[in-house]
Chains A and B, each alone.
Chain A
């Protein structure tokens, strides 16, 4: 395939978003067409998306994936344009006009709504806001979290909820060498939170944790993990499912839950209590959150939650809803409002009637929804680029003026950040971290990032 284009019909392709899916789309493009020039457009001055602003600071090994992204970025045909936001600094029409194809990999930067009364009370947040805050996302630094009450509730039983649990229960000593922001460490060190309730809508066999994340919670040095006995139900349908190979990891989770047992070890400073089969119906309080009322559920035969009519109320001063990130629509790009994804067929963007939008593609969380880990996005981007390869003859028909894209940015006086600029920021972050014994101290202010790049 790599010989199908010669120099004179060199393609210029835009990739929007520099998270995993954007980098893997770039990798797959260059594998197929080594001469392609790829412009990666990223709204922040810094790359890597949720690898930087999602993946937990105490999981440094995963962040080594950045070395792979550095290698991709070092290809002379790849140009990074940080600090350029699609739909703000540049429109989709401008990108389409200046590129043979545009691949939308801009991820999911909003939240699925809980849709119950009380979510405007102080003390209610999405887990995404908290994660982005402790990971130094410039757009999340304004959030104020109240750690003064001993009880916190996390609604949702997936890996993001598990990350939040670890950050809330680990000691300063356990976090101080990571790249969590110093501001977060300082505030967390004053935290009075002792008991975390982690709530699932369905049963233990439907929890979304990976066994590894649960195991890690079980290994926390100063934290007692236990199960609410009343809601721990594994029925025959569950048992049957759990024996299937596809459920191997969930079966592992269930066996870890069993090992946790029903009793709290009160010698430990913190506790995490797993409660199942509960749906929140109301968050209560005057101006601040004081408690949350839940409906107890039972499961139907096809494993849907249905209300039993019994309720339970949990006192707390802080609540994180961790029921999923959500993708956002961008002007003039066909969007599925229910799923929060760009409408597409194997990566080819199509409109609501199913008509293909020539030259527009998508990959990653904004293509398939906010699930799957870093590597999932690689296979996903491979699929999208396989689709693009099929369309290549059509894409080549378009004539594009040289430097058309950069000229638009220049005309708009947009201060874009190159990969070399980012490396300057990267160096300073590592240096600032090493002074205080941390792997990195992230810069959380966009103006500061830009001023380092300008030096």
Chain B
């Protein structure tokens, strides 16, 4: 079981997670990030640092995000992101929208 980036990660790309990932298991496209389950070591370092709490341990991920498992399995289609980037211009608005 790995960790999952849910669809809450969308239009913000704060990328705090990639900086604390000890194994560089995050991949990303223009919109969001994905976790490569085969590389993730389940350390949970990323969960707390996400400003919109988009990442869950699969073990206690709410039902509504189950479809995100398949979405994360496409991680390898995108490049590894292992350094922090500027958030997207829509990030603060998105954060507010999600109630954080």
The chain B residue sitting closest to A20, CB to CB, is B22
A67 to chain B, nearest CB (A): 8
Instruction: List A contacts of B43 (CB < 8 A).
Output: 62, 65, 373-375
A-B contact pairs, 20 of them (CB 8 A): A20-B22, A31-B83, A62-B41, A62-B42, A64-B23, A65-B41, A68-B22, A212-B44, A215-B59, A248-B53, A249-B48, A373-B45, A374-B43, A375-B46, A376-B20, A377-B22, A379-B16, A379-B19, A382-B19, A382-B84
CA distance A441 to B48 in the complex (A): 35
Which residues 30-51 of B sit at the A interface, judged by CB distance below 8 A? 41-49
CA distance A234 to B23 in the complex (A): 38
Instruction: List A contacts of B48 (CB < 8 A).
Output: 249
Given A212-B57, A245-B53, verify A65-B42 contact (CB < 8 Å).
Answer: no
CA distance A31 to B59 in the complex (A): 35
Which residues 12-27 of A sit at the B interface, judged by CB distance below 8 A? 20, 24
The chain A residue sitting closest to B1, CB to CB, is A61
CA distance A365 to B46 in the complex (A): 19
B62 to chain A, nearest CB (A): 12
Instruction: List B contacts of A328 (CB < 8 A).
Output: none
CA distance A377 to B41 in the complex (A): 16
B69 at the interface (CB under 8 A from A): no
- The answer to whether B19 and A64 have CB atoms under 8 Å apart is no
Which residues 193-217 of A sit at the B interface, judged by CB distance below 8 A? 210-212, 215
Chain A contact residues: over half helix, strand or loop, or mixed? helix
B21 at the interface (CB under 8 A from A): yes
A252 at the interface (CB under 8 A from B): yes
Instruction: List B contacts of A378 (CB < 8 A).
Output: 19-22
B56 to chain A, nearest CB (A): 11
- The answer to whether A61 and B53 have CB atoms under 8 Å apart is no
Residue from the list B20, B57, B60, B83 in contact with A375, Cβ < 8 A: B20
Instruction: List A contacts of B20 (CB < 8 A).
Output: 375-376, 378-379
> What 8 pairs between A and B have smallest CB-CB spacing?
A375-B45, A375-B20, A375-B22, A379-B19, A374-B22, A379-B20, A65-B22, A64-B41
CA distance A373 to B24 in the complex (A): 15
CA distance A249 to B43 in the complex (A): 14
A353 to chain B, nearest CB (A): 32
Given A378-B19, A378-B22, verify A245-B100 contact (CB < 8 Å).
Answer: yes
